[in-house]
Amino acid sequence: MEECAPKPIKDTGLRNVVIASTKISNVIGDQGKLIYRGYSIGDLAEFAAFEEVVHLLLYEKLPSKSELPDFKTRLTKEREIPPAVIDAMRTRPASSLPMDILQAAVPMLANHDPDVETDAPDAVERMGLRLTAKLATVLAAWQRIKEGKAVLDPLDDLDHAANFLYMFFGEKPSQEAVRFFDACLVMHAEHSFNASTFAARGVASTRAHIYAAVAGAIGSLSGALHGGANTRVMKMLMEIGDVKNVSSYVTRQLDSGGKIMGLGHAVYDTDDPRALILAPMSRQMGEKVGEPHWYEISRELEIQAKAAFKERKGKEIFANVDFYSASLYHAMGFPMEIFTPIFAISRVAGWVAHVLEEQFGGAADKPMLYRPESEYVGDYCGPEECSWEPIEKR
């Protein structure tokens, strides 16, 4: 019989490996489609409020006309954060990374949650709603503390997006700002098994509590190749500084093997539908605040980088969600280090939906602890394991 050669294991980054089924969302990479529980992201960004999307993700359906006010009230009542959490934030250096502050606040919120030791579905759902409501308050409070300003209490008469803008900037926002920001929250809320959601599901699969899962997800989102890209897009736009510098930037970056932030995606090999919606929003907001050049640089960069990439690699590259959200957030007045935390205060809704699905079924027949295999390519001492050497002999 022919001897089988050992099968080489490739470091795949799990690309194209289906590890679980889900009813929450679908990313159809080759068609540029993103679907939350059957609804296209285009319709949701245009018509749905963030609260409706949270309801859709958690309860598998849009709220009815009568359910929506009650659901909004439930979220509104959960917005406040314990004074002890605010006091703890005050002890942090102003130079702290806001993603670290957000991540560190999550277990502190767990310390104050009466449900934290309960693993029944209704308790996990309550904790998930609390996290979704409170993370925005944590982020706004941190910004106020960092700027030496008074932390503002949430306002019950404002919806989630408007209330965050109020708590963050200290004044009631314009209707246009609310509409744009709400659409951003909707578009960032969910994206199937991306790295941070996978992290949340991996933690949740051990039956750790939802706060542990969300804290892990925030850490994952902070990375430059994931949510951290939007801040780096803005840094890159500032480095470029002017449309006339785009060409030399693209050449320099590709010549040195560097990446152009905000381009490329692990799943989409055509336009990311969110980038198509965000681009005109960035242009509009940039014009409104008298800073149209950030959009113009982005647009020129997208065109030139796509052409150069095609020429060098023989394949297409497309703008992802982070590319135009950077210039949009900048035009809205957000400091760039806040871009990724904004992503987190929206994506928390998706993480919560995935934790619920992971722990209580959904599409899966029986939720299982994640435990992949790896191939050991390290050493032995000859054909057997190494023999132990006492410290004096080493």
Q: Which strand (E) or helix (H) includes residue 285? A: helix 273-288
| Pick 27 or 129: Cβ nearer ligand COA | 27
Nearer to ligand COA, 179 or 259 (CB): 259
Nearest residue (CB) to ligand COA, 35 versus 321: 321
Is residue 157 annotated as part of the catalytic site, yes or no? no
> Of the two residues 61 and 312, which places its CB atom closer to ligand COA in the complex?
312
CA 352, CA 124: separation in Å to the nearest integer? 9
Shortest Å distance, C-beta 87 to ligand COA:
35
Determine the residue with CB nearest ligand COA. Answer: 264
For this structure, is 191 an active site residue?
no
Q: Which of 133, 132, 143 is nearest to 170 (CA)?
A: 143
* Nearest distance in Å: CB 253, ligand COA: 7
Reference 292, options 330, 260, 319, 258; nearest CA is: 330
Give CB contacts under 8 A, 24+ apart, made by 163-167.
Answer: 163/79, 163/136, 164/136, 164/139, 164/140, 164/345, 167/136, 167/137, 167/140, 167/141
The span from the CA of 394 to the CA of 379, in Å, is 18
Q: Please tell me which residue in 160, 209, 226, 265 is annotated as part of the active site.
A: 265
Give the nearest distance from C-beta 223 to ligand COA in angstroms.
9
DSSP assignment of 98-124? HHHHHHHHHHHHHHT-TTTT--SHHHH
Question: 179 vs 306, which CB is nearer to ligand COA?
Answer: 306
**356's tokens:** 């619920």
Would you state the torsion angle of the CA atoms of residues 179, 181, 185, 188, taken in this order, to the nearest 10 degrees?
A: 120
State the minimum distance, in angstroms, from the CB of residue 326 to ligand COA.
Answer: 10
Report d(CA 304, CA 250) in Å as an integer.
Answer: 7
Residue ranges binding ligand COA (CB under 6 A) = 225, 229, 259-266, 317, 320-322
Which residue among 55, 322, 330, 354 is the active-site one? 322
Residue carrying the six token digits 């919606």: 277
- Considering only CA atoms, give the Rg of the chain: 23
* Shortest Cβ 348–ligand COA spacing (Å): 17
Looking at the annotation, which residues are catalytic? Answer: 265, 322
